[in-house]
Amino acid sequence: MIDYLQTLIEILGTLAFAISGIRHAAAKHYDWFGGFVCGFAVAIGGGTLRDVMLDETPFWMTSPLYIVCTFIAQAFVIVFQRYLKRLDNAWFFFDTLGLASFTITGIQKTLDCGHPFWVAIAMGCITGSAGGVLRDVLLNKVPVIFRREIYAMASIIGGLLYWLLMAMHVNYAITVGTTFAVIVAIRIIAVKYHISLPVLKPEK
């Protein structure tokens, strides 16, 4: 059950991040191949960095499923591009789903490798946010975690909540669902009400 749920979350995260990356590439007028490369890089970026740091084989090298997910994401964007254009915040929606999904995946995989929870929370944040950073670098934009909006902090708060629920021996499915919902809610509330962390001021 746990393995099935983890795989489902990884697939959801891959699709969401791939769609987000391809949508951003389309906005920059990339061709189909460029869009696929951008979507694939976003989808695997955080998980690859996590696995390298954990001395594990990168997850996408163990199954062609993640490449297939990126193809599906590209087909989805191409077929439904007219409808997605009408949704001004479509990129935000898919990016938020990817952040929540991969944060949970990163935490659980790190715990499965026997690392303590504080490492798992850090890896969850890396898994969830590094793909978005890579996307912005490829698109020559300021990485999202450096902008004035709650992004990586949503991942960290979600990780702390995951740890708390696990420590209370809450059912795994409920823990995953609650953590996912909280990360998504934090992102939506932060963007809607323009909530951000204080800005560092330069020396005078």
Q: What are the Cα distances from residue 148, in Å, to 27, 86, 131, 155, 173?
A: 22, 25, 18, 15, 33
Residue 88: per-residue pLDDT: 59
SS3 percent helix, strand, coil of the chain, rounded to 5, is 75, 0, 25
- Reported pTM: 0.89
Q: Which helix (H) or strand (E) holds 94?
A: helix 90-112
Asked if pLDDT for residue 156 goes beyond 90, the answer is: yes
Q: What are the Cα distances from residue 6, in Å, to 73, 187, 195?
A: 20, 22, 31
Q: Are the C-beta atoms of residues 106 and 132 closer than 8 Å to each other? A: no
**Token pair in block for residue 154:** 């949503």
Residue 149: per-residue pLDDT: 74
Asked if pLDDT for residue 148 goes beyond 80, the answer is: no
| pLDDT 10s digits, 52-106 | 999 999 999 999 999 999 999 999 999 988 777 666 576 788 888 889 999 999 9
Quote the percentage of the chain above a pLDDT of 70: 95
| Length of the chain, in residues | 204
Residue 80: per-residue pLDDT: 87
Which amino acid, one-letter code, is at 142? V
pLDDT bin (cut points 50, 70, 90) of residue 2 is: low
